[in-house]
Structure 1
Amino acid sequence: MRILLWHVHGSWTTAFVQGPHTYLVPVTPDRGPDGLGRAATFDWPESVVELPPEELRDTDVDLLVLQRPHEIGLAREWLGRRPGVDVPTVYLEHNAPGGPVPDTRHPAADRRDLTIVHVTHFNRLMWDCGTTPTAVIEHGIVDPGPLWTGRLERAAVVVNEPLRRGRTTGTDLLPYLSEAAPLDVFGMGTEGIAARLGLPEDRCRGRELVQSALHHALAERRVYLHPVRWTSLGLSLLEAMHLGMPVVALATTEACEAVPPGAGVLSNRPDVLHDAVRGFVAEPELARETGRAARTAALARYGLPRFLDDWDRLIKEVTR
């Protein structure tokens, strides 16, 4: 099977391309958003093939995976084929709706010629997809292994652009939560976060690391903190659980499904999150036991084999 998709979400795509197919990714000379090509910081197999736009018209494509609204027009232009009509198509929706929930219309709503695939049941519930067929394929994670040591009495947070995204990612909660334990905030746009939040550097540090280094850095921290108010289901939360980290998270969107009892602490009360972070930092054995439970739960629900099997079943349905 030859599957065409744009390189949009590096972590998700890393799991998707572990399947048995050939994955075609557009590449442009500037490697801009519509032509990133192969990942530079993720480990992708040789079955991921870069193709410039001018070669796509003459390329056999068995399935088109769209991820952004403008890719519908881009596919028509570059392929010379109509998504859903001339080539089987799914629209992969990574995000929870950003408009007036729950009335936000999906950009691919009321299209019987394609399928919208959501990454969480929460997202499918909240998006108004009209008459478009929908499915849910939950995330799968390439297992980084049980790397947690927790040797540093600090909490890890992973979020891109926390200052720009503000309340959406719970950035406003960080000053209070940093009183429970020093925070290391990993992700793009985290430089200077301590000064912007009015915190001493030793209480909140921002760092940007490539994926291979990020897992080891997270695993050194005692606990993983997920203060995000509104998002889909952060892959970093699932990766932390795979690492064997205890997790503390807001009980919003899909987090309640992802983190079962015993694998961490979920609450919409900042004081409960504060006390949970402090407790895990103070009690390394509790952190270890909780992290083991988190890893067991994550492997069972978000393991790579289940993810790839689910996608293969859907691919067969939409291409038959």
Structure 2
Amino acid sequence: MRILVWHVHGSWTTAFVQGRHTYLLPVDDERGPDGRGRARTWDWPAGAQEVPVADLREAEFDVVLLQRPHELELVERWTGRRPGRDVPAVYVEHDAPRGGAADSVHPLADQDAVPLVHVTQFNRTYWDNGRARTRVLDHGVVDPGYRYTGSSESLAVVVNEPVRRRRVAGTDLVLDLADELPVALYGMGVTELAGVKNLSVYEDLPQARMHELLGTHRVYLHPYRWTSLGLSLIEAMMIGMPVLGLPATAAPEAVPAAAGVLSSDPDVLRATARRWLADPEEARLRGLAAREHALRAFGIERFLTDVDALLAEVVA
């Protein structure tokens, strides 16, 4: 099957393009949000192929996978085909509602031509999906391998743009912990916090290098107040890291009790962090439980099987 898909979320697309299909990725000279083409910091297989935007009208594809509302218009303008009418289409919603859960109407809620696919049950329940046909496609992650050593008595966090997304990402909680404990912060835009006491920052590393470094830290901290289920959390669990975090959105369903501690009480998080920093064996055992669960729940083979079933349903 030939699938037209934009490179929007690097980690998610990395899993998606591992399948047996051909993945057509629009590319333009600027490599901007609508024409990034292939990823630069992830290792993608040869089936992920760049297609110049100017060539899309003549390109052959069987289905289009949409991820942003304006892509509906892009497909029609660039290819001459209307998603859900002239070509089969599916819309993957990566995010939780950004407004109130009671009144967040999804942009595709007033149509039923394009199935609306959420990446967590939480997201499907909290969005108002209107009359759109809905599905859930649980995340899948390429196994980075067991990389945990926990040799560094520190906490690791992965957050992009932690200053701009301060409350949503829980950056204030990270800084509160860093006031007493060593914390390593990975992601884009993290250098804005360089120089903060007890905080080390690692800006925009290649994925493989980030995984290697993450495994050296004793604990993984997931401080998000409101988000979808971050793939960095699942990757950390697969690496074998024990998890600390807030019991928000889909996290309680993704992190079993054996794998970590989720609490709304900062004192509980702080005390647990101190305990694991002082007890590497408990941290190691928690991390092993995290890896076992993540491989079972979010393994790439299960994900690709679910993707194929979804595409077969849409194209039929």
Partner of 1:140: 140
Residues 183-262 of structure 1: matches in 2 within 5 Å?
Answer: 183-195=183-195, 199-200=196-197, 203-208=198-203, 209-262=205-258
Could you tell me whether the CA contact under 8 Å between 1:180 and 1:275 is conserved in 2? no
- RMSD between aligned residues: 1.0
- Distance in 2 (CA, whole Å) between partners of 1:90 and 1:77 is 18
172-181 vs 89-98, which moves further: 172-181
| Counterpart position of 1:166 | 166
Q: Which region of structure 1 is more displaced relative to structure 2, 175-184 or 243-252? A: 175-184
Distance 1:180 1:306, change over 3 A: farther
Alpha-carbon displacement from aligned partner over 1:263-310 (angstroms, at most 9, x marks no partner):
011111111111111111110000110000000000010000110011
What's the TM-score, normalizing by structure 1? Answer: 0.97
Superposition deviation, residue 192 in structure 1: 3.4
Instruction: Determine whether 1:271 maps to 2:277.
Output: no
Alpha-carbon contact 1:280-1:286 (below 8 Å) kept: yes
Distance between the aligned counterparts of 1:257 and 1:303, measured in 2?
16
Match of 2:28 in 1: 28
The aligned residue for residue 316 of structure 1 is 312
> What secondary structure does 2:235 align onto?
helix
State the distance in 2 between where 1:233 and 1:185 align.
18
> Can you list the C-alpha shifts for 1:223-252, whole angstroms capped at 9, x where unaligned?
000110000001111000000000101000
The 3-state SS of whatever aligns with 2:201 is strand
Secondary structure at 1:305 match in 2: helix
Opposite residue 236 of structure 1, the aligned amino acid is: S
Q: Distance in 2 between matches of 1:281 and 1:149?
A: 13
- Give the deviation of 1:194 after TM superposition: 4.7
- TM-superposed deviation, 1:57: 1.1
Rounded Cα–Cα distance in structure 1 between residues aligned with 2:154 and 2:52: 45
2:246 & 2:180 partners in 1: Cα distance? 16
Q: Number of residue pairs matched?
A: 315
- Counterpart of 1:289 (choices 285, 291, 309) is 285
Q: Distance in 2 between matches of 1:151 and 1:5?
A: 40
Contact 1:180/1:278, CA 8 A, preserved across alignment: no
Contact 2:163 2:192 in 1 (8 A): no
Partner of 1:280: 276
Q: Please tell me whether the aligned partners of residues 263 and 290 of structure 1 are also in contact (alpha carbons under 8 angstroms).
A: yes
Distance in 1 (CA, whole Å) between partners of 2:171 and 2:54 is: 43
TM-score (norm 2): 0.98
Could you tell me how far apart the structure 2 residues matched to 1:43 and 1:175 are? 32
Give the drift of 1:180. Answer: 5.0
Shift in alpha-carbon separation, 1:283–1:179, aligned structure 2, 3 A = farther
Deviation of residue 212 (structure 1)?
Answer: 1.3
* Alpha-carbon distance in 2 for matches of 1:255, 1:179: 25
Following the alignment from structure 2 to structure 1, what is the Cα–Cα distance between the partners of residues 181 and 214? 15
- Residue identity in the other structure for 2:298: Y
Instruction: Could you tell me which runs of 5 or more consecutive residues in structure 2 were left unpaired when the two chains were aligned.
Output: none
Secondary structure at the residue paired with 1:288?
helix
Amino acid at match of 1:26: P
In structure 1, give the amino acid aligned to 2:304. L
Task: Give the whole-Å Cα distance in 2 for the aligned partners of 1:181 and 1:238.
Answer: 23
Structure 1: distance between partners of 2:223 and 2:301? 29
Gaps of 5+ in 1: none
- 1:192-233: CA deviations, max 9, x gaps? 3154xxx42xx1122111211100010010000011000000
Q: Residue 265 of structure 1: SS of its match in structure 2?
A: strand
* Superposition deviation, residue 99 in structure 1: 1.6
Which residue identity lines up with residue 205 of structure 1 in the other structure? Answer: S
Q: What is the DSSP-based 3-state SS (H/G/I as helix, E as strand, rest coil) of the residue aligned with 2:301?
A: helix
